[in-house]
Chain A
Amino acid sequence: MSVLKRVIPCLDVDRGRVVKGTNFVGLRDAGDPVELAERYDAEGADELVFLDITATHEKRETIVDLARRTADNVFIPFTIGGGIGSVADAQSVLDAGADKVSVNSSALARPELIGELATVFGSQCVVIAIDAKRAVAEPAVPTAPPRWDVYVAGGRRRIDGCDAVGWAREAAERGAGEVLLTSIDRDGTNLGYELELTGAVAAAVAVPVIASGGAGEPAHLAEVVLEAGADAVLCASIFHYGAFSVRQAKQAMREAGVAVRL
């Protein structure tokens, strides 16, 4: 039987509050990430990802507090990312109840971090998050296969000479147990995931790939699984703004032929 594909709502959190808007009815406090997480659990989310974008000195405490409050109330696996730069950082959020940590710019700055985390906690705890943007084709070779650059700082800064597919492969070889792959070109567009990028990375690594960026309707979730080989789909606005529930999205995936937990 086939392995169940996962649907993973993602919550961006700043100083303990959800950043991207939510217009759910019935939430006491739409900005509370834990209350939103409980809602997603009840709707059938398979996992959750919290990306902490707090830019203050209290960042470490805010992510540990978030992990602790989530573990108190939400009983599905969850990943914490944004500010994990060391084994000690990871230890504190895993001790608080998180299941995985995701690393992005800290791993680009010091790739050894991936191996250190995998050695201490196991690869199943380590997610490499990659923000990729399609490189402009060389005018001299218009038929060259597409390439994607790696960006950090919310897509504002390009890493020189870093190819997204190659970096995903290297990170997996260093011990990352999963790739969280975001298309900067598609993020926020509602046009669907970038299939070509997702397919290229999924073909290059032996670990699961979580597609991210661009989901606008349930059909996009099934599409990236069936056509690009994604193992899981990450969604933010499609759920936050109440357009579709997690359950509706998963029902649509099942109808399209994707095995999901319902």
Chain B
Amino acid sequence: MNSAGTIAICDYGMGNLRSVEKALERVRARVVLSADHDLIGSAAGVIVPGVGAFPEAMRRIRALGLDGLIAERAEAGVPILGICLGMQLLFESSKEHEGSAGLGLLGGSVEPLTAVGLKVPHIGWAPLRFEAGHAEATGGALLEGIVEATPFYFVHSYVAHPSEPGELVASAAYGSRFSAIVGRGNVLGAQFHPEKSSAAGLRLLANFASICAAAKLGPALAR
């Protein structure tokens, strides 16, 4: 099976995958929802979704062999977008529950959200502040047409701490400031749910589809 020109949503059984799929279809992206290595391996872009606990997500991803596949695709230059827990999985490790190693595509760790006096999980809309990484080509392209301070919809108890400040594309605040969009080259992540963030979220997904269509791929893609 081949899915050239499509965006593959990795289906490892956690999260509201249907909403991500429908939002991408709304912005006229071709999309497949699958754990199939051939489909994900031949896609023009890969989305790592997810809702739930980090260690369980990594267990499922490893059991399906998706950890190696996602890393291989990232290495080949295929745009990767992690959403919510999926963004956290891109990092090296998490302190959630018993702790777990992540996919390690971005440097840094995932730690509890510090929100003294506020209710956790953080659920709701929060405006973005653009950070240094915003100037970086791919991360910036994700925000094409989106103005600073636009609110997006978040549901999370943990936050990612990129080790490289330049990999922080946008932040939001809830008790404390945290990573909202991260990125290095073709590896991107959003802590919020673009598929639930109304017109701005759809725009961000459309931007990701454009990034996928324009991606320059290394020789490793020839499969």
- Footprint of B on A, CB under 8 Å? 1, 3-4, 6, 41-42, 44, 46, 68, 71-73, 75-77, 94-97, 99, 122-124, 177, 206-208, 261
Contacts and interface: CB of A to CB of B under 8 A. Distances in A.
B196 A75 contact: yes
A171 to B, nearest CB: 15
Contacts of A99: 16, 155, 196
A136 to B, nearest CB: 34
Interface in B47-75: 51-52
B173 interface: yes
B126 A207 contact: no
A75 B124 contact: no
A4 B126 contact: yes
Given A75-B23, A77-B153, A261-B125, A41 B16 contact: no
Contacts of A261: 125, 127, 151
A42 B202 CA distance: 12
B101 to A, nearest CB: 23
Interface residues of B, number: 29
B125 A124 contact: no
B95 interface: no
**Chain A residues touching B, majority SS:** loop
B16 A75 contact: no
Contact of B201 (A73, A75, A208): A75
A76 B18 contact: no
B2 interface: no
B119 A207 contact: yes
Nearest to B174: A3
B18 A75 contact: no
B16 A6 contact: no
Contacts of B155: 99, 124
A206 B118 CA distance: 9
A208 B119 contact: yes
B26 A75 contact: yes
6 contacts: A41-B198, A68-B18, A71-B18, A73-B26, A99-B196, A122-B52
Which of A3, A41, A46 is packed against the most chain B CB atoms within 10 Å? A3
Interface string B140-172: 000000000001010100000000000000000
Given A4-B151, A41-B198, A77-B196, A72 B22 contact: yes
B100 interface: no
Contact of A75 (B119, B123, B127, B195): B195
A122 to B, nearest CB: 8
Given A71-B22, A97-B22, 12 more contacts: A3-B126, A42-B199, A71-B19, A75-B198, A75-B201, A76-B198, A97-B16, A99-B155, A124-B123, A208-B119, A261-B127, A261-B151
Given A75-B202, A76-B153, A6 B125 contact: yes
Nearest to B122: A3
Contacts of A124: 121, 123, 155
Contacts of A177: 121, 123
A97 B19 contact: yes
A3 B199 CA distance: 20
A95 B126 CA distance: 25
Contacts of B127: 4, 261
Contacts of A4: 124-127, 151
A239 B193 CA distance: 26
Which of A4, A76, A207, A208 is packed against the most chain B CB atoms within 10 Å? A76
Contacts of B119: 206-208
A82 B198 CA distance: 25
Nearest to A98: B16
